[in-house]
Amino acid sequence: MKSGIRKSVIAGSWYPGNPTVLKNQVEEYLANTPADAVDGIIVALVSPHAGYAYSGQVAAHSYKQIAGKVFDSVIIIGPSHRAYFQGASIYNDGGYETPLGIVKVDKLLADAIIAQSDVVSINPAAHVQEHSVEIQLPFLQVVLGDFPFVPVVMGSQDRRTCEALSAAVAAVTKNKNVLIVASSDLSHFHGYDRATAMDAIALKHIEKMDWQGLLADLDSGSCEACGGGPVAAAIMIAQKRGADSAKILKYANSGDVTGDRQGVVGYAAAVFYKKHAAGRSPAGGDAGVVSGLSDDEKRQLLAIARKSIELQLRDQALPEFSRDLRSLHENRGAFVTLKKNEELRGCIGSFEARGSLYKTVEEMARSAAFHDPRFPPVSANELKEMKIEISVLSPLRKIKSIDEIEVGKHGIYVMRGMYRGVLLPQVATQYNWDKVTFLEETCHKAGLPANAWKDGETEIYVFSADIFAEHQ
């Protein structure tokens, strides 16, 4: 593993080695997966780890849940198939390489987890040939783009290891937007009917978030899961971080793919999440304030965004749009989000003003449609099916004291030298952060130490947001 980069050991066998073919295959799996979004904050996923030909379509049901979302980091927990050791091992150096590029290891988070428990160690040999973590990465690379992660391999999957690992992860991810992925297949090499009966027992425990029952039935042989420990640990972590609901998104086995029902392997996709409070929107609901834009101004901005995309599709120059309304001249940051069938199809924005608001919306609309690296460019046939949403940010206001920050109303932008980070108003309400935690997380987003907001060289700004969309 030269330079700390762990090379792929399954590219070209378990999934395609050609990056274009791989990306197209993952996108096809996702496109063939129906939209089935949960109404809540996603904390953890369960995804299978067989070759994509067998379990890729099942895995897509988990990863479609997080398409277009942003996480501070991802922790993937998988079982060890080849190395035998006690406890869990974290790879804390460099990154993992797939045909789609290198996914960097979040070393700070990795080291923090290791420091929490003697059950968690550094054992590079556990990661060299292990596929259970790597197999998840191409899906994450497609749906999230660039992200840091922590690879965890469990050598033992007993209750003590699960409890120690979950306690360590929960302690260091408190108040952070971190996604947990449990890598697990279910029963192995039983006849179709026997396999589905055993898997139903495991799925019932997963759906109830009953990690104790899951571990007990795994021990008794009533059900099987080669990643039962990672699933149990993920449930524990999710519960410690406020998750109160689970959903089985998809179940299938290898017999459904190959037609061979003699000895099958079971696969499941599941999500653990925290339900939104009644009357509160997924974006935070009560976060932010109105921008001062009139209904007419909002309609004009939405029309400008759509026309900008339409003209680029026709390869025509943009006209000088009418901008007689006062607020359209103001220098404001804005995001433009595209949704197709309520699924994210593109989102690009600027937290800093790019000139007049209507010009910023023009630019962000074209960027969201044609330059979001997570999605292919929008086609003319797609545009008519899309709904456009605009988030307008108030001008940044530099503050002298953190007493000026109102959680639930303000977003925070920090800047020191070349380091910059921003979090929207709804993020703090979504995670129930207090003012100090909100500041610390914004500094973390900027790549600064958590307490950098106390440094006189760090500039702190606040802003609010107004979100509006087309009615279709």
Report residue 327's pLDDT band, with 50, 70 and 90 as the boundaries. Answer: low
End position of a domain, from candidates 370, 393, 416: 393
190 and 211 inside one domain? yes
Query: At which residue do the structure tokens 């953890």 appear?
Result: 44
CATH number of the domain encompassing residue 266:
3.40.830.10
Residues 6+ apart with CB under 8 A from 454: none
End position of a domain, from candidates 341, 372, 393: 393
pLDDT digits (tens, 9 = 90+) for 424-470: 777 787 678 889 999 999 999 889 999 999 998 999 998 887 878 88
Report residue 422's pLDDT band, with 50, 70 and 90 as the boundaries. Answer: confident
What is residue 317's predicted lDDT score, i.e. its pLDDT? 77
pLDDT digits (tens, 9 = 90+) for 254-283: 999 999 999 999 999 999 998 854 333 333
What is residue 420's predicted lDDT score, i.e. its pLDDT? 86
40 and 179 inside one domain? yes
Amino acid at site 19? P
232 and 312 inside one domain? no
Residues 6+ apart with CB under 8 A from 53: 257
What SS3 class is residue 6?
strand
Give me the domain span that covers residue 302: 295-393
Q: Is residue 164 part of a domain?
A: yes
- Domain count of the chain? 3
| Start-end of H helices in 32-151 | 52-63, 107-116, 125-128, 137-144
Q: Say how many CA atoms lie within 13 Å of 315 toward its Cβ.
A: 0
What is residue 1's predicted lDDT score, i.e. its pLDDT? 53
Amino acid at site 59? A
| Start-end of H helices in 348-457 | 357-370, 380-383, 425-430, 435-446
Decide if pLDDT at 328 tops 50. yes
Buried b (16+ CB within 10 A) or exposed e, 68-80: beebbbbbbbbbb
What CA–CA distance (Å, rounded) separates 103 from 253? 29
Q: Is residue 317 part of a domain?
A: yes
Mean pLDDT over 159-167 rounds to 97
Mean pLDDT over 233-247 rounds to 95
End position of a domain, from candidates 213, 241, 275: 275
Strand ranges of the sheet holding 95-98, from the earlier edge strand across to the other edge: 5-6, 95-98, 101-104
What CA–CA distance (Å, rounded) separates 216 from 41? 29
Lowest mean pLDDT among 17-31, 243-257, 272-286: 272-286
Q: Is residue 419 part of a domain?
A: yes
Lowest mean pLDDT among 10-24, 146-160, 189-203, 324-338: 324-338
What CA–CA distance (Å, rounded) separates 333 from 412? 13
